[in-house]
Each structure stands twice: as C-alpha cells, then as structure tokens.
Homo-oligomer: A and B are copies of this chain.
C-alpha cells in the first residue's frame, strides 16, 4: 500500500530538539504549574506524562492538587507569583460554563493553553500578534496548533503561497466542534485559506475566507451539506470523536485523502490505509511539544515585556 503513516513522535522530534537547545541555553529553567482539581484518573495520568516530557526537555513542572472550590484563589496566587512562568488546568473542573469562567482567571501572561478570552478572540479574528509592532505572537491552543504543525510537516500547507494563505484550494472536514479543539482548529485552517466543514452532532458549519480569499478572516455559514457530501469533497479529514465505537466509513472518503485522528479512540476504519495518501493516527506528542513551546514563548515575553 502506498499510504504513508506518520507518527506524532516523528513530527514532534524537530520541535523537541529545538526546545532542548533553547532550554539548555537558559539560566533559569521555566516553570510550568499544572492544577489538578478534579478526581479524573485520566487527568492524573496526563499530569504524570507532562512531568516526564518536561523533564526530558529540561523544563520544570509542578502539579498542584487542590479542591476545586480553592482553584480560583490558587490560580490568582500563581498569576502573581513571579517564579511561575506558565499555568495550565486539567479540565473539566466544574463542568459546563463555570469552567469558561475559570479559563479567564488564568493571566494571558501565563496562559500556556491559550484558552483565555484575549487569545481566543485574536485567534478567531486572525490577529496573530498582541502588539502593533508585530513582535509578540498570540498564544494558540495546543492541540489545534499541533494539528497545524502536523499539516505543515506532511506538506498540506503549500509554501509556494504567501504565509497565511497556504491552504488556499484545500477543502477540509473536521469532525468535532468543541470550544477547545474543533472550533478553534476550524478557524485557524479557514484563516489560513482552507474551505472547512466543521461537523458536530448538531450539524455542519462551513468556514472560509471567500472566493480568492478576499476576506482577511474567515466567515461562518450554516450549510445543508451532508457529511457524505463534505467528505467526498475533502482533501483532508480530521477526526476527534471521543468514542471507541465511532468509525468513519472509508468508502465515503476521497481517494488519496489525508486522514488525521486526534481522538484517543481510533475514528478511522482499519482499511483507511487502502485509500488515504497519508494517515496520522494520533497527535498527542506534538500537542505536548506545543505546550512547551508556548511556555518558552511566554517565559521570553515575561522577561521582556508586559502583555
């Protein structure tokens, strides 16, 4: 079979070695503090894993456990603590909209996950810098950013085109429209020039910058397009359905499709390699590299300027 399977570890490699180099050169090693305020064993596992990967690159990592009723105060404390350079929270804490409040408690200066309103607003509006001189880049959420980096690695971004337009001509379906991954990812890819079908259980949205990319940022439209129609038109299909029983039918995909799965479950069928040109079964390792990259960036800004 001609399909290339790309492992996240391979994509992460160059980022990891760049991170190591940068961190070695630093006198103070940046400190990432992760708050664990739920009883989810998956979150605890993820914290262990984060500790391990930070140790590998030379970053300092601290997992702080606290009752969820104290989380807000602990976050404010960490915001004000100059020895803390990055802050993250394992969600869900309260679940639902109260977690949206917590996301905004984390200071933009330390928000390695890019979940506070300021970063989200800028991302949706295709504003890439915090300052007018374009020296301070906005922080992007880790998993969507990881997916962009993967698409760059596998050649989906066309470097012949101008920076910011490199997905022009590409049609992409994303199955997941969560506020943490699917919706920001759809916006990022549409802002880079793609036509995106954003799919969730409630229906499909279409995002793009108009014919010839005449818009500076994407627009969103409700569409009557069905999932089979979207899939039949898509050069790239990205899935993130957190269910072990959900399987996308290979027959519905275009021959030579690029298939990327960011769910912890396998969303493609076993025969995907008989149809896809490129298959990326998971993205987690790139996500963790992006988390560290965001931390380094914030560390640099903290020592330079106020965001």
A positions within 8 Å CB-CB of B: 67-69, 72, 96-101, 104-105, 117, 120-121, 124, 179, 183, 205, 219-222
Contacts and interface: CB of A to CB of B under 8 A. Distances in A.
Given A97-B97, A100-B100, 16 more contacts: A67-B222, A68-B222, A69-B219, A69-B220, A72-B124, A96-B96, A96-B97, A96-B179, A97-B179, A98-B179, A100-B101, A101-B117, A104-B104, A104-B117, A105-B121, A117-B117
Contacts of A72: 124
Contacts of A219: 69
Q: Which one of A72, A97, A98, A205 has the highest number of Cβ atoms from chain B below 10 Å of its Cβ?
A: A97
Contacts of A220: 69
Nearest to A222: B69
Contacts of A69: 205, 219-222
A44 B245 CA distance: 40
Contacts of A104: 104, 117, 121
Contacts of A179: 96-98, 100-101
Q: Which one of A99, A100, A179 has the highest number of Cβ atoms from chain B below 10 Å of its Cβ?
A: A100
14 contacts: A69-B220, A69-B221, A69-B222, A96-B96, A96-B97, A96-B179, A97-B97, A97-B100, A98-B179, A98-B183, A100-B179, A104-B104, A104-B117, A105-B121
Nearest to A117: B104
Contacts of A221: 69
Contacts of A68: 222
A69 B206 CA distance: 10
A220 B121 CA distance: 30
Nearest to A105: B121
Nearest to A71: B220
A98 B117 CA distance: 11
A102 to B, nearest CB: 11
Contacts of A67: 222
A9 B114 CA distance: 46
B96 A120 contact: no
Nearest to A99: B97
